[in-house]
Amino acid sequence: MTTSPSVEQDQKLELEQLRVKLNMETAQLPWRELERHFASGHIVAVADGLDVVSVAVMVASDDVQSIALLLKDGQIGKVTDGQAQSWSDADASLWAVVVKPWILVQEKKPAQITTVGSQ
């Protein structure tokens, strides 16, 4: 069964509106404010190379195939005890967005600055 162009346009518009909404709800939060949610198992780590808002859209729109692939590739997953301890020790701030019941978090590492030495 194929969908009509107007249905596809409506779906694309809905996804774009969802993306805008989730983007506006994304914020940097200190790990200490997220720790209690970690204890309940509701925090999902998103790999640094991914767009956390795009992943949130996948979760919110129930894109099971894409989510399964990201899980399989280790690009997303529940926060480990080691990650939690590291973030706690560093008093880290993480990008976070809520897609109930999950909170997706992403640690943005500082960009490496390459300097060119003079000879």
pLDDT in tens, 16-54: 999 999 999 999 999 999 999 999 999 999 999 999 999
Burial of 113 (0-12, 13-18, 19+ CB in 10 A): exposed
Ramachandran angles phi, psi of 39, nearest 5°:
-60, -30
Length of the chain as a residue count: 119
pTM of the model: 0.84
pLDDT in tens, 45-98: 999 999 999 999 999 999 999 999 999 999 999 999 999 999 999 999 999 999
> Where do we find the tokens 């925090």?
43
